Amino acid sequence: MTEKPRILCVDDEARVLIGLSVLLRREFDVVTAELPEKALDALGRPPEFAVVVSDMRMPGMSGTELLHRARELAPNTTRILLSGQADLESAMLAVNRAGVFRILRKPCDHPTLLEALRDGVEQHEHLIAERELRERTLVGTIGLLMDILALTNPAAFGHANQVRRHVTMLAAALKFPDPWELEVASMLLQLGAVLLTPTTIDKLYAGEPLNEAEVQSLARGPRLVAELFRAVPRLDGVKRLVDDYEHARELVPPGTVDLPADRFVLGAGVLRIANDFERLEWRGMKQPEIFELLRTKPRGYAQALVELFRATLAVRETNEILEELPLLALRPGMVLVEDLRTKSGALIARKGHEINSTFFDNVRANRYTDVIEPVRVIVGRRWTPDDAARG
């Protein structure tokens, strides 16, 4: 049985909401809210609504303001405004500021309302399909670039992959909306490493000063990312995350305790702390020392995020299943626990590298015969009560 489209109706008059529920429940899964604040709370929690319909005049917050905030909380939810006013200025404000899909005169007859809701549901489905296609295409394309990075610069790839794992872990713990945007942003921020030599990479991650030529090469990375944003449409969320990453220390000054309410500022902090943690670990620091440094000298993230990172990392590492295997027994999906090197010291793959077909191509192409074995890898993770709760 196909699920009914989920819609949210907002009006300060209870009798109006009761009437809408009776009229629409045969075709839609109707949720109602008499207060704009309750509507915003509902919009901020899953599952997502296909359409939100709001009255214009309500005490405390206008329909225009509500739908403007709804646009930020649930950008894929179609917004419809019911207005009893013949006010052109208010209508223009609703369209321009809140991105309203349709404005209907109140009272609105049943057929007109049904038609608008059906069109709104269709618009929502179109946005979702477009978003999913964009996500798959973009993540796949950047993933290919990361594979190239793995072949040309295993140290940089290992760093990028570890950062990505930490970002994905924190996004899940925070229930971050549109986590793919965080994942893409984390990969884009590493693209500049493609332009650096392994020697420069080692200096960069070790915190050593770079010479002028190395600084210029490093500066080309952000320009690559800016070109990508110009070439690929509708990456506003990813762009905002990257921009806020660059300004995170001003947005979340030292001494901030609670998580930021703005999801982009919070996401920028996630990107920052994941990068900082990985760089400090690269330098050989132990986790207690790293977390103490992140706590006392944060660079754009709140104390609460440091504690969340510490707790979720401990849970992840506790539930990882480790094995020591010969090189040729490694399989796609396994993750290196330590750097993989030859007996002569050459780096093949960095700690955190997820084994894939590119890895085996690299091994075969270079005919590695003196790899230090056995290789310690994560082969899976234990099932936890949280997994069971998620179904």
Note the pLDDT of residue 142.
67
| Helix axes 179-188 and 154-174, enclosed angle (nearest 10) | 160
Tokens linked to 212:
């002028």
Task: State how far the Cα of 328 lies from the Cα of 308, in Å rounded to an integer.
Answer: 37
Residue 144: the pLDDT is 67
CB atoms within 10 A of CB 246: 14
94: confidence class by pLDDT, cuts 50, 70, 90: low
d(CA 186, CA 145) in angstroms, rounded, equals: 13
User: Is the predicted pLDDT of residue 157 greater than 70, yes or no?
Assistant: yes
Chain mean pLDDT for the chain: 85
Evaluate if residue 132 carries a pLDDT over 60. Answer: yes
pLDDT at 291 over 60: yes
pLDDT at 147 over 70: no
Question: Does the pLDDT value for residue 88 go beyond 60?
Answer: no
381 vs 262: which has the higher pLDDT = 262
At residue 171, the pLDDT reads 95
Residue 92 has pLDDT above 80, yes or no: no
Position with higher pLDDT, 330 vs 197: 330
Check pLDDT > 60 for residue 131: yes
Identify any residues that bridge with 341 across adjacent strands, giving them in sequence order: 347
Give the model's pLDDT for residue 145: 65
**Range(s) of the chain covered by CATH 3.40.50.2300:** 6-126
Predicted local confidence at residue 306, as pLDDT: 97
The CATH architecture that domain 6-126 belongs to is: 3-Layer(aba) Sandwich (3.40)
The pair of three-digit structure tokens given for residue 106, joined into one six-digit string: 């109140």
Q: What is the pLDDT of residues 118-129, one digit of tens each?
A: 999 999 998 888
Is residue 17 very low, low, confident or very high in pLDDT (cuts 50, 70, 90)?
A: very high
pLDDT above 90 covers a percentage of the chain that reads 45
CA distances from 294 to 247, 254, 261 (A): 17, 11, 21
pLDDT in tens, 272-287: 999 999 989 888 899 9
* Pair type for strands 375-381 and 335-336: antiparallel
Higher pLDDT, 367 or 53: 53
pLDDT classification of 199: cutoffs 50, 70, 90: confident
Q: What is the mean pLDDT of residues 189-199?
A: 75
Mean pLDDT of 8-23: 93
pLDDT beyond 80 at 391:
no
pLDDT per position as a tens digit, 338-390: 888 889 888 888 888 888 777 777 776 666 778 899 999 999 887 655 543 44
CA distance 81 to 117: 11
- DSSP for residue 328: G
Query: Tens digit of pLDDT for each residue in 215-259?
Result: 888 777 777 777 777 766 667 888 999 999 999 999 999 999 999
pLDDT, residue 191, reads: 73
